[in-house]
Chains A and B, each alone.
Chain A
């Protein structure tokens, strides 16, 4: 069992690393300018165009490579913001307890009750669509799960003797939260971050499909959308429709696999720390 987990982690990280490298070096890796018309419309995969061309004669492979960036940036950026807000709220809520905790828990309940994806769609429609907007929206709508789980962990922690001990030394609350509480929940924060990344990537592609992505960037969702609308699906042009879908599926699986390995690695550790 342990071995399988390890294999999962290695594969997951390798795939993820490959995507990151592709994203970074996409201008070099893409054989053509993804915006330029470099062939006849709707070419089948051939030696010049690995995945053929779309209805406008743009190279699909180049567009696929260049689309990696948007998904990764929104995925990591959104997750970072989510986990940042969630961790701060969770630590403050769990550490102070009492009135502050009640207030923050109420806030978490309210935000959590909002239907995230529909709201995301609405807000994205109203605001100027851009990568930063997407990251911002995902961050402020998606932090609650993280906050809740971190809070319960910190709550357990705050009652442990060593926190009392540090308080007795005369340390300030901020010091205790930064120096003692945070390092001890860091593994959990990492796990939350990885899964949040997966969520944000999927949402990014979903929004792209709905035409709410950054208009100045190529993204996979928008590619699927185009292929679907312009008849790629009806005509059975799999090389147009499939690649972005398969890419996001692979990426998402890789991230999930990393997350699960982390989670398994951490669970026994967390248990030992608390007991």
Chain B
């Protein structure tokens, strides 16, 4: 369904001396139809950037994104626009995901209107149907986003997206800014929808537990790189990468982890493993040579040279 190959996104900053932040650095993975891939990693590791780059909402530095056999990054603007409704993204902050000057109803109707050939009566019916699907009240339709809670706004975003009948959705920490109870409701709803309409999903979160309950497979990300990817059970039971292990049980090797503050910008390092500075098992060779992705089980890959 979707294939990402060697995707890179470097942000440059500085006028005279250009500095690069390697937000996404040579990432490859694929998601099959109907499958949910979870993407975990600490804040700032490049998860949102991957999501936006896949949908070409920001221009990737290099790489390929193939959706249903079409290379999105080579696509002409017009063709891309026509393809876009099939791929959608839910953003982290629901309150900034809606036009503050548009009523909820108009926001939900917008994708329908942009698709064309649908009359007013049909739109009205469809809006009410969608509002119900996502668990909102019909009277919310005449309100503005600032009059609703974060959870309600996220439901509106979901309704808007469902109006398009997309094949592929990227959910970027859709619940991380919401209360725990609301979080559970939204996650349950997404799980139901997934089953009902056979969605393909890239589910992004910094919370491993949330990802666990949503995903078929999990990709673990660290500083712009995917360091381990595999089936959900395998990641939890047979995690091989030391970083994955710190995520699963933070105390297991926590006392040995060295957090070098200067390394916040570890992307300056071009040589060696991204995790070298924090890795308890690192040997000298890890700082010299970039590790390669190796297959250690069925659909289970690790970016580490020390795994045997």
Contact = CB atoms under 8 A, between A and B. Distances in A.
Interface of A: 160-162, 164-172, 175, 180, 183-184, 272-273, 275
Contact of B91 (A165, A167, A169, A172): A165
Given A160-B96, A162-B97, 14 more contacts: A161-B93, A164-B57, A165-B91, A166-B99, A167-B84, A168-B89, A169-B84, A169-B160, A170-B81, A170-B83, A180-B99, A180-B102, A272-B100, A272-B146
A183 B164 contact: no
A169 B83 CA distance: 9
B146 A170 contact: no
Contacts of B65: none
B99 A184 contact: yes
B110 interface: yes
Interface in B224-278: none
B101 A183 contact: yes
Given A162-B96, A180-B99, A172 B81 contact: yes
A175 B111 CA distance: 12
Contact of B57 (A168, A184, A275): A168
B223 interface: no
Interface string B155-167: 0010010001000
Nearest 7 pairs between A and B by C-beta?
A: A170-B84, A161-B91, A161-B97, A170-B81, A164-B57, A161-B96, A169-B111
B82 interface: yes
Contacts of A166: 99, 110
B100 A169 contact: no
A164 B91 contact: yes
A60 to B, nearest CB: 49
B85 A169 contact: yes
Nearest to A180: B99
A272 B111 CA distance: 25
Interface in B63-92: 81-85, 87-89, 91-92
Q: Which of B92, B99, B160 has the most CB of A within 10 A?
A: B99
A169 to B, nearest CB: 5
A164 B52 contact: yes
B146 A165 contact: no
Interface residues of B, number: 28
B23 interface: no
Contacts of B57: 164, 167-168
B34 to A, nearest CB: 21
A273 B100 contact: yes
B84 A165 contact: no
A237 to B, nearest CB: 55
B157 A170 contact: no
A214 B223 CA distance: 67
Contacts of A169: 84-85, 88, 110-111, 114, 160, 164
Contact of A162 (B55, B88, B99): B99
18 contacts: A161-B91, A162-B96, A162-B99, A164-B52, A164-B57, A164-B89, A166-B99, A168-B55, A168-B57, A168-B84, A169-B110, A169-B111, A169-B160, A170-B82, A170-B83, A172-B81, A272-B146, A275-B96
A184 B85 contact: no
B114 A170 contact: yes
B98 interface: yes
A172 B101 CA distance: 19
A175 B146 CA distance: 23
Q: Which of B55, B97, B160 has the most CB of A within 10 A?
A: B97
A98 to B, nearest CB: 9
A228 B100 CA distance: 54
Contacts of B98: 162, 165
Nearest to B58: A164
Nearest to A160: B96
